[in-house]
Chain A
Amino acid sequence: MVGLENIGKRYGTDAEILHDVSLRLDPGGFYFLTGVSGAGKTTLLKIIYLAEPPSRGRVTLFDTNVATTDRAAHTALRRRVGIVFQDYRLVEHLSVRDNVALPLRIAGAPEREIRENVPELLSWMGLEGKLEVRPATLSGGEQQRVAIARAIVRRPDLLIADEPTANVDDDIAMLLVRVFERINKLGTTVLIATHDIAFARQFAHRRFHLDKGVLSVASDRAPTR
């Protein structure tokens, strides 16, 4: 599903922040990417979800070599990826309903489908009654659930979450991972980046660890699916 081979990344003339990173994510797998702040986790995720090109190495996404495909193909690949950003990146001037509907509208989904699916998903996320409010009026936890709903509304093949547990207490963090596991059980490959190594160790999922730009396999447990 995702293949990185000998990825290196540097910005301008700065020192390289990723060194020969190679990893493989299999379809239906559940993975943690751990590492302290500044280890290069977000940069690695950006390379996977095509927000940044690598300085060297080869990226394969859904069996497609992204270096040899055009912008239109990249757009099609991005639509198969759901992203939960660390800062949520909800659109302030849109309601919760329109925020979650955004990926569907971008993909040209019919309004009838949006009217049916978005409220149902928000209800599943415990956000019924919040459809018409603006994100700024929600609590941090609620905003995060809106961000997750937006990431999964298009039923992506790959879900990437950057530090989803960083700003919540342990109980909520545990609940969030359970939500991701439920999504994973529906067939979506999940990759969660977290700086909390101890938290990730609690789950029987494969872990990659990034230390100063060097990736290692911290846990070789088989994916849950």
Chain B
Amino acid sequence: MIATLRLPQQLRLELPLRQDASGRFLPWVIALIVYLSVSGGLALIWLSDALHGWDAAVGGALTLQVPADTSTARLEMTLGALKQTKGVVDARLLDTAETAKLIQPWLGNSFPLDSLPLPRLVDVQVDPDVAIDFATLRRQLASIVPNAQLDNNTAAPSDVPRFAGRVEWTIAIGIVAVTALLVAIIVFAARIGLAIHRSLIELLHLLGAADEYIARQFQIHALWLGLRGAIIGGIAAAVTAMILEPAAGRLALPVPAVSSGILDWRLWLLLCVALVIAGGVAMVTARVTVLRQLARLP
């Protein structure tokens, strides 16, 4: 069990910090913090991937729908008007077979599509960096085909990135908050350790121990606790990713819900960063806390 691993003997501690109660509960608290942080980081990665997938799938496209009985001449005029519009890259009339293929998933294979008056669809590719005046374009198209209906695929999802951005910020703030919680817990544990071992610390001080020597004992202990907690929390987060990946893969979403699984190098980078940050934050926090307290000794 990782939680019961012990420090190498050469990292000698004169203070019996390993026997403190903090040594038993702190790794689990750090594990929870690391689990939440890594899971948050994974959520950020997945959200970012999903947004990119969404952009690739629906971004930069418009659909024009015209009644089935529209004449070829009006269709040609419509295509010409679209192609001359600033920001439109291409406009292509879908043939009847392509249109039927799009509708088939809703009506089934056995439905006689030939019997329906299918509207004609125009796939319009637009430059996402150019703002199109849709009101003018709609008026212009209506003057050619009165019942033409322009669906702006790019307009509807524009709220999605904005919402996703807010979610990303919320997750990022959450990660910063749990890291701050880690600092607070280590400060608390270090102060308790100082209080418990006060007489022994005074003895070391009187025997000529420099503040650095005493602080090193706490920082080695905190580093070890931080690493143990980070390993436990990291493994739990990796297991979560392993469980979520196939489950999300079974969802029939237009874009992949979980694009990165256990083999994604970013997950492993995240785990390594969590390990370094948990150990580093624990070590530095313990060191600073102890040095500040020791400065009060004569």
Interface residues of A (CB under 8 A from B): 49-53, 71-72, 75-76, 78-79, 83, 89, 91, 93-94, 102-103, 105-107, 150, 154
- Which residue on B lies nearest to A103, using beta carbons? B207
Closest to A92 in B: B16
A79 CB → nearest B CB, Å: 4
In the complex, are the beta carbons of A105 and B14 less than 8 A apart?
yes
CB neighbours (8 Å) of A105 from chain B are 12, 14
**B14→A71 contact, CB < 8 A:** no
> Inter-chain contact count A-B, CB under 8 Å?
46
Residues of A within 8 A of B209 (CB): 75, 106
Scoring A52, A72, A78, A106 by chain B CB atoms within 10 A of each residue's CB, the highest score goes to A106
Shortest B273–chain A CB gap in Å is 34
**Which chain B residue has the least Cβ–Cβ distance from A72?**
B210
Question: Which segment, of B134-142, B172-180, B198-206, B275-283, faces chain A?
Answer: B198-206
- CB of B298 within 8 Å of the partner chain: yes
Q: Which residues of B in the span 195-225 have a Cβ within 8 Å of any Cβ on A?
A: 199-200, 202-211, 213
B206: contacting residue among A51, A53, A154, CB under 8 A:
A51
| The one of A52, A78, A93 that contacts B208, using a Cβ cutoff of 8 Å | A78
| Interfacial chain B residues near A103, Cβ < 8 Å | 207-208
Nearest first, the 5 closest Cβ-Cβ pairs linking A and B are A79-B208, A78-B208, A106-B209, A93-B16, A75-B210
Contacts of B211 in A (CB 8 A): 71
Closest to B16 in A: A93
Partner of B298, one of A51, A72, A106: A51
Q: Given the known A-B contacts A52-B298, A53-B298, are A94 and B14 also in contact in the complex, defined by CB atoms under 8 Å?
A: yes
With A102-B14, A105-B14, A106-B213: A50-B207 Cβ-Cβ less than 8 Å: no
A79 to B203, CA, bound (A): 12
**Chain B interface residue number, banded:** 10 to 19
CB distance from B147 to the nearest CB of A (A): 88
- Residues of A within 8 Å of B208, CB to CB, are 75-76, 78-79, 103, 106-107, 154
- Min distance, Cβ B164 to any Cβ of chain A, angstroms: 53
- Give me the interface of B with A, judged by CB distance under 8 Å: 12, 14, 16, 19, 199-200, 202-211, 213, 295, 298
Q: In the complex, A73→B11 CA distance in Å?
A: 27
Please measure, in the bound complex, the distance between the C-alpha atom of A184 and the C-alpha atom of B181, giving whole angstroms: 55
Q: How far is the CA of A154 from the CA of B206 in the complex (A)?
A: 14
The smallest beta-carbon distance between A27 and chain B, in angstroms, is: 20
Q: Can you name 27 A-B residue pairings with CB atoms under 8 Å?
A: A49-B206, A50-B206, A51-B202, A51-B206, A51-B298, A52-B298, A53-B298, A75-B209, A75-B210, A76-B208, A78-B206, A78-B207, A78-B208, A79-B207, A79-B208, A89-B199, A91-B203, A93-B16, A94-B14, A105-B12, A105-B14, A106-B207, A106-B209, A106-B213, A107-B208, A150-B207, A154-B208
Q: Given contacts A51-B298, A53-B298, is CB(A91)–CB(B14) below 8 Å?
A: yes
Contact present for B200 and A91 (CB under 8 Å): yes
B19, B202, B205, B208, most chain A CB atoms within 10 A:
B208
Nearest CB on B from A147, distance (A): 11
A148 to chain B, nearest CB (A): 14
Chain A's closest residue to B213 (CB) is A106
In the bound assembly, the distance between CA atoms of A106 and B206 in angstroms comes to 11
Q: Which of A52, A71, A76, A89 contacts B203 (CB 8 A)?
A: A89
Report chain A residues within 8 Å CB of B204: 102, 106
- Kindly list chain B residues whose C-beta atoms are within 8 Å of the C-beta of A93: 16, 19
Smallest CB–CB gap between B158 and chain A, Å?
62
In the complex, chain A residues whose CB is within 8 Å of the CB of B199: 89
